[in-house]
Amino acid sequence: MKDAIIRAFEESIQAKRAFLKENLNSLLAAIDHIAQAFIAGNKLLIFGNGGSAADAQHTAAEFVNRFRIERPPLPALALTTDTSTITSIGNDYDFKEIFAKQIKALGKEGDVALAISTSGNAANVLCAIDVCKKLKITTIGLTGGDGGLLAKRVHCLLKVTEGKNTARIQETHILVAHVICEMVDRKLFAA
């Protein structure tokens, strides 16, 4: 059991190191897109399924409340939290529309969308990205593996390529989200 625990930690560390080596410039670009949207009075729309939905909510909370410093709230929305909206869209239309319809209602040019999908192939995430393109919303994809279909549809791609273990990908995703929050705060509030 000790070996399995050590291996899990080592895999997580390696996934994070590889991510940083492969994605530093894209991460800087994503941070800049989000900071510029906030400066212009626009918002961040975040979405994904399962663990990625939880990461969307977690990330939105860090922006709306605070991350590490005291500062004004920043406009970030997790499109994964309104169960009445999600279930009505899923029931009346299709599950693949649950994020797209919310973006049509809430999104506008100048906003940024952060799409989180470990595979990059979630139908509802891809559908939402297509709507973002039509609305001229800047898109950031946070994925794993080769980025799936999402890789070619977003303005800025952040992908965890090391290993195929969903847990290790998601552990890296939340670190990336925390780094984005901290660096946006630094850009906006000289923290």
Q: Given this model, what pLDDT does residue 39 score?
A: 98
Q: Given this model, what pLDDT does residue 164 score?
A: 79
Tell me if 174 sits within 8 A of 56, measured CB to CB. Answer: no
Domain ranges of the chain: 2-189
φ, ψ of residue 44 to 5 degrees: the values are -110, 125
Tell me if 83 sits within 8 A of 60, measured CB to CB. Answer: no
Structure-token pair, residue 169: 């990908």
Alpha-carbon distance 74 to 97, whole Å?
26
The residue whose two tokens read 């509802």 is: 124
Q: Given this model, what pLDDT does residue 162 score?
A: 80
Q: Given this model, what pLDDT does residue 160 score?
A: 97
The residue whose two tokens read 């800025």 is: 156
List the pLDDT tens digit at each of the 191 positions of the chain. Answer: 999 999 999 999 999 999 999 999 999 999 999 999 999 999 999 999 999 999 999 999 999 999 999 999 999 999 999 999 999 999 999 999 999 999 999 999 999 999 999 999 999 999 999 999 999 999 999 999 999 999 999 999 999 998 679 999 999 999 999 999 999 999 999 86
Alpha-carbon distance 144 to 166, whole Å?
8
Q: Which neighbouring-strand residues pair with 48?
A: 116
Q: Which neighbouring-strand residues pair with 142?
A: 116, 158
The set of residues, in sequence order, having a beta carbon less than 8 Å from that of 125 and lying 6+ positions away, is 47, 48, 49, 99, 115, 116, 117, 150
Using alpha carbons, select from 32, 6, 48, 43 the residue that is nearest to residue 166: 48
Q: Given this model, what pLDDT does residue 141 score?
A: 98
Q: Given this model, what pLDDT does residue 163 score?
A: 66
Q: Given this model, what pLDDT does residue 190 score?
A: 84
Residues in the chain: 191
Burial of 139 by CB count in 10 Å (0-12 exposed, 13-18 middle, 19+ buried)? buried
143: helix, strand or coil: strand
Kindly report the CATH class assigned to 2-189. alpha beta
pTM, full prediction = 0.96
Which helix (H) or strand (E) segment is 76 a member of? strand 76-78
Give the strand order in the sheet containing 76-78. 76-78, 44-48, 112-117, 138-144, 156-160
